[in-house]
């Protein structure tokens, strides 16, 4: 599944890399969200490639859902249009995703500028609800084995069609960003693991864009995920810290000139509070697993490798670690 918006110079390479996969039969579904029709029209002529044309920009989340609905494979893999999967990557993802105790398999996402270094070995999630690319720019050789992760990366991940359907796919209201995190949390809550797969190597032309619309989507979707997916005891316990964190984010937004987008995110969440309440009720009722296993995977640090300027003082992170440890003991989460 490849969702495309705008002309992507790596798209043809990405598609041909998937078609060249070994050890697995593949069907490529391209979702054309606008601006890439000339390239996609050529790719559509290739065997095992089909195209979904919504004739509008659906965003990543709805685009993936449309693409999945148009496909028939028992395993669903999401690959970014600027990501090149090595020949064995999809077979490795599929093998892990088929295991009865696994829900999502996440690839070994490498930086195109330095393929021996990680773009993401799964996404980290803070117990306060923030999320970012995990192990960013660390040596790939440091991660030779599988391990459980809080969240898969939507740039290279796979799951069974059965799981996708049972979880209802990606949350379409997100449009873009954080949908992989929200989907992964719900996977853990269903009692299935999210696993980093070291043999599923995918090279990604990554850059952290700073357009203001991205900050709105990130902030809105982070708040929605926190408010709809976190256990009630968890939310109550972190409420004081969330207040301080929001004040800090307002200061950062003012400093970096995206304050209007920050307040727009608040307005969106407040304006849709009734929808969010229904969403939370649905997510909470669908849970079958204790929050403790997922809680073990949440991080207490706030030092994303892809945003080095966002690192707080060391004493803050030490305090957060102590707070989370005490809260988990008291609230049993």
User: pLDDT tens digits for 69-125?
Assistant: 999 999 999 999 999 999 999 999 999 999 999 999 999 999 999 999 999 999 999
Cα dihedral 242, 247, 251, 254 sign: positive
Tell me the pLDDT tens digit for each residue of 189-214. Answer: 999 999 999 999 999 998 766 678 89
Residue ranges covered by each domain of the chain: 2-204, 212-331
Asked if residues 93 and 28 have their Cβ atoms less than 8 Å apart, the reply is: no
pLDDT category of residue 309 using cuts at 50, 70 and 90: low
Give CA–CA dist 197/328, Å, rounded: 29
Beta strand 102-111 pairing with 114-120? antiparallel
Give CA–CA dist 63/150, Å, rounded: 24
Residue range 307-324: mean pLDDT, rounded: 86
Give CA–CA dist 259/254, Å, rounded: 5
Asked if residues 304 and 133 have their Cβ atoms less than 8 Å apart, the reply is: yes
Looking at residue 207, its pLDDT comes to: 74
Whether 9 has a pLDDT exceeding 80, the answer reads yes
Question: What is the residue-wise DSSP string for 90-106?
Answer: HHHHHHHHTSTTEEEEE
Asked if residues 81 and 204 have their Cβ atoms less than 8 Å apart, the reply is: no
Looking at residue 208, its pLDDT comes to: 67
Looking at residue 308, its pLDDT comes to: 63
Looking at residue 267, its pLDDT comes to: 98
Q: Please indicate whether residue 152 or residue 333 has the higher confidence score (pLDDT).
A: 152
* Nearest alpha-carbon partner for 133 in 113, 157, 116, 109: 109
Give CA–CA dist 94/25, Å, rounded: 10
Q: How much of the chain, in percent, has pLDDT values that exceed 90?
A: 91
b/e 250-261 (16+ beta carbons within 10 angstroms → b): eeebeeeebbeb
Question: What is the residue-wise DSSP string for 128-156?
Answer: TS-EEETTTTSBGGG--S-EE-SB--TTE
Per-chain mean pLDDT for the chain: 95
Token pair in block for residue 178? 């954080």
What lies within 8 Å, CB to CB, of 195 at 6+ separation is 96, 102, 104, 105, 106, 146, 147, 148, 149
pLDDT category of residue 131 using cuts at 50, 70 and 90: very high
The hierarchical CATH code for the domain 2-204 is 3.90.550.10
Cα dihedral 185, 148, 101, 94 sign: positive
pTM: 0.96
Residue range 212-235: mean pLDDT, rounded: 96
Residue range 265-292: mean pLDDT, rounded: 96
Local structure of residue 200 (DSSP, 8 states): E
Residue range 214-232: mean pLDDT, rounded: 97
Asked if residues 299 and 126 have their Cβ atoms less than 8 Å apart, the reply is: yes
Give CA–CA dist 33/52, Å, rounded: 9
CB count in 10 Å sphere of residue 289: 13
pLDDT category of residue 304 using cuts at 50, 70 and 90: confident
Tell me the pLDDT tens digit for each residue of 27-84. Answer: 999 999 999 999 999 999 999 999 999 999 999 999 999 999 999 999 999 999 999 9
List alpha helices for 5-113, DSSP H.
11-19, 37-43, 59-69, 89-97
Whether 175 has a pLDDT exceeding 70, the answer reads yes
Q: How much of the chain, in percent, has pLDDT values that exceed 70?
A: 98
Residues belonging to the chain: 333
Asked if residues 195 and 148 have their Cβ atoms less than 8 Å apart, the reply is: yes
List alpha helices for 205-272, DSSP H.
212-229, 232-255, 259-271
* Nearest alpha-carbon partner for 211 in 176, 168, 239: 176
Looking at residue 212, its pLDDT comes to: 80
Token pair in block for residue 95? 């093998």
Token pair in block for residue 234? 């968890």
């Amino acid at each position: 599944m490849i969702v495309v918006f705008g002309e992507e110079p790596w798209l043809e390479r990405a598609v041909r890399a998937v078609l060249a996969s070994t050890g697995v039969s593949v069907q490529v579904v391209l979702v054309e969200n606008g601006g890439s029709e000339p390239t996609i029209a050529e790719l559509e002529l290739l065997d095992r490639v089909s195209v979904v044309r919504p004739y509008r920009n659906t965003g990543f989340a709805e685009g993936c859902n449309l693409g999945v609905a148009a496909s028939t494979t028992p395993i669903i893999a999401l690959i970014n249009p600027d990501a090149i999967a090595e020949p064995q990557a999809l077979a490795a993802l599929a093998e892990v995703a088929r295991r009865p105790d696994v829900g999502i398999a996440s690839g070994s996402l490498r930086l195109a500028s330095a393929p021996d270094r990680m773009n993401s070995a799964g996404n980290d999630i803070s117990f306060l609800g923030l999320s970012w690319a995990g192990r960013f720019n660390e040596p790939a050789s440091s991660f030779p084995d599988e391990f459980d992760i809080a969240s898969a990366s939507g740039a290279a991940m796979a799951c069974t069609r059965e799981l996708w359907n049972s979880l209802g796919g990606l949350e379409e209201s997100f449009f873009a960003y954080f949908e992989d995190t929200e989907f992964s949390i719900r996977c853990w809550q269903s009692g299935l693991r999210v696993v980093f797969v070291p043999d599923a190597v995918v090279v990604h032309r990554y850059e952290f864009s700073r357009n203001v619309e991205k900050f709105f989507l990130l902030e809105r979707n982070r708040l929605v995920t926190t408010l709809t997916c976190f256990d009630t005891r968890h939310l109550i316990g972190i409420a004081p810290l969330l207040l301080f964190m929001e004040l800090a984010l307002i200061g950062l937004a003012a400093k970096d000139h995206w304050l209007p987008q920050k307040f727009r995110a608040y307005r969106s969440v407040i304006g849709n509070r009734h929808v969010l309440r229904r969403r939370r009720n649905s997510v909470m009722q669908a849970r079958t697993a204790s929050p403790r296993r997922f809680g073990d995977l949440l991080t207490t640090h706030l030092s994303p490798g892809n945003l080095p300027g966002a690192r707080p003082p060391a004493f803050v992170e030490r305090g957060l670690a102590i707070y989370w440890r005490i809260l988990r003991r008291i609230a049993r989460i």
